[in-house]
Amino acid sequence: MKWLTSRRRRAWRRQIVEFLAGRFTQRSSDGRSIIDTAPERVAIIRPNHRLGNILMLTPLVQEIESIWPAAQIDIVGGGRLNDIFKTFSSVRKSIQTPKPALKLLLRRSFVHGLPANYDLVINVDPQSQSARLISRRLKAKQVLEPPRQADHLDSASRHMALQPVDTLRSALPRPPASEYPPLSLKLTESERIDGHRKIERLAGGALKVRPIIGLYPFGDKGRAYPLSWWDECVLLLRQRIPELVLIEVLPAHGQTLLKRVNARLNSRALRDLCAQLGAMDLVLATDSGMMHLAASSGATTFGLFRVTDRSVYAPYGGQNRAWDWRDARSPEAMVSAVESALGLSG
């Protein structure tokens, strides 16, 4: 069956799920109805296994905690849910979704293991057919999801982490006027202390004495900047900030890509890695899960974008900034922005 390529199999599964979702899912309120009673049980649906997409649920969870401190939240999704929401007291349960989406229907242990009768379900991705199937199984009193077409919205409302927050706020009688919650793993004090200790050791005792920048050049699906760009950027940083400590953050496969760095960070423990990133003064990262993890750590994060939409995925808040390849083609502007963020310009 050579004709049944992986692409055709994915298309076939997608058509089946779309058909079933269209026949059997309930209509959501699209954020237009009003929540007049504080929900006790809330479910957030995001059947996706990519690190960045799951990290971008953390602002929504913080928003729910702020509005309804007594609410208990279940998260139906993929990836490293337990690591990410370990210190969120409101998160009662993390429910792993199988992949691909068709297995949602075939895996009885998953279907029958889903709780039911929630007060509120928030479907984070309105384009996800599998999320709509899960939403029906949860039998919620009220279902919210962002608008399906977000092109007409402003940049904040188009952002993947902020769209669900806006949707929730629009369903409240008196929406809060506070700033958007940041991406966060809610690292404990002991985790941060341990992260600082490890980075200080890695940087040769330079913590709080010399600026420390993390570099993450790896990217897939055409997202990575050329290594020649990174080499020129490193050289320019060395010339302009001689006392700088540069640490290359390695991807899961551990391959090193950069020269002239002081050290390399290779940790697969998610919260430990986040704590070490948080000990850095700035992280320069390709658009990736690592970029979102750096933003979640509290470190100033510069995200490098090439093929994806900055308005949807950019690190936000503080001095965080998203760069497009057209703006960053010459490392000169990037290095100047780094100097400014570190308080070294002028």
pLDDT tens profile 190-213: 999 999 999 999 998 766 778 999
147-200 pLDDT, tens per residue?
876 554 555 578 999 999 999 999 999 998 889 999 999 999 999 999 999 999
Structure tokens at 110: 């998953």
For residue 267, is pLDDT > 80?
Answer: yes
Q: Tell me the pLDDT band of 71, cut-offs 50, 70 and 90.
A: very high
For residue 146, is pLDDT > 90?
Answer: no
CATH superfamily of 189-341: Glycogen Phosphorylase B; (3.40.50.2000)
For residue 4, is pLDDT > 60?
Answer: no
What average pLDDT does the structure give for the chain? 87
For residue 127, is pLDDT > 70?
Answer: yes
90 contacts 64 by C-beta, under 8 angstroms = yes
Fold: same for 22-170 and 189-341: yes
Domains of the chain, by residue range, sit at 22-170, 189-341
Res 82: pLDDT: 96
Q: Give the mean pLDDT of 256-281.
A: 97
Q: Give the mean pLDDT of 136-141.
A: 84
Architecture of the structural domain at 22-170: 3-Layer(aba) Sandwich (3.40)
Q: Give the mean pLDDT of 300-313.
A: 96
Handedness of CA 103, 117, 22, 131 (dihedral sign): negative
CB atoms within 10 A of CB 77: 24
Res 148: pLDDT: 72
Q: Give the mean pLDDT of 62-76.
A: 97
Q: Give the mean pLDDT of 97-116.
A: 65
Query: Measured between alpha carbons, how far is 111 from 103 in angstroms, rounded to an integer?
Result: 10
Of the candidates 12, 138, 162, which has an alpha carbon nearest to the alpha carbon of residue 75?
Answer: 138
